[in-house]
Amino acid sequence: QVQLVESGGGLVQAGGSLRLSCAASGSIFSPNTMGWYRQAPGKQRNLVATITHYGNTNYADSVKGRFTISRDNAKNTVYLQMNNVKPEDTAIYYCNLRWVITRNYWGQGTQVTVSS
């Protein structure tokens, strides 16, 4: 089994920065893709960014140029550096790890609230 634990969420002022971390543990297959998704009240859970084992990244258009995803393969940890945050970024942020569609794991989520 795989467990993901997020940290770093909290309250931040618009224009500020926040760094999320997610550490994975358990029976993790490599290579894999890790990422961040977010869900605001009343909305679907949507992609924020993903990163492959090899460092290939994919970002939602809404966060391009502001957020940076990175990972430490040795630590099975993924990060999300959030810069110039906006109130629209307010959501629960979920860490994700997957390697096939049947092996797709989620963290508990961490709340990010951006005040204006």
Q: What is the 3-state secondary structure (H, E, C) of 6-71?
A: EECCEEEECCCCEEEEEEEEECCCCCCEEEEEEECCCCCCEEEEEEECCCCEEECHHHCCCEEEEE
Give residue-wise pLDDT tens across range 1-48. Answer: 999 999 999 999 999 999 999 999 999 999 999 999 999 999 999 999
Q: Do residues 6 and 21 make contact, with C-beta atoms less than 8 angstroms apart?
A: yes
pLDDT of residue 11: 98
As a whole number, mean pLDDT of residues 105-113 equals: 98
Give residue-wise pLDDT tens across range 40-71. Answer: 999 999 999 999 999 999 999 999 999 999 99
pLDDT of residue 91: 98
As a whole number, mean pLDDT of residues 84-112 equals: 97
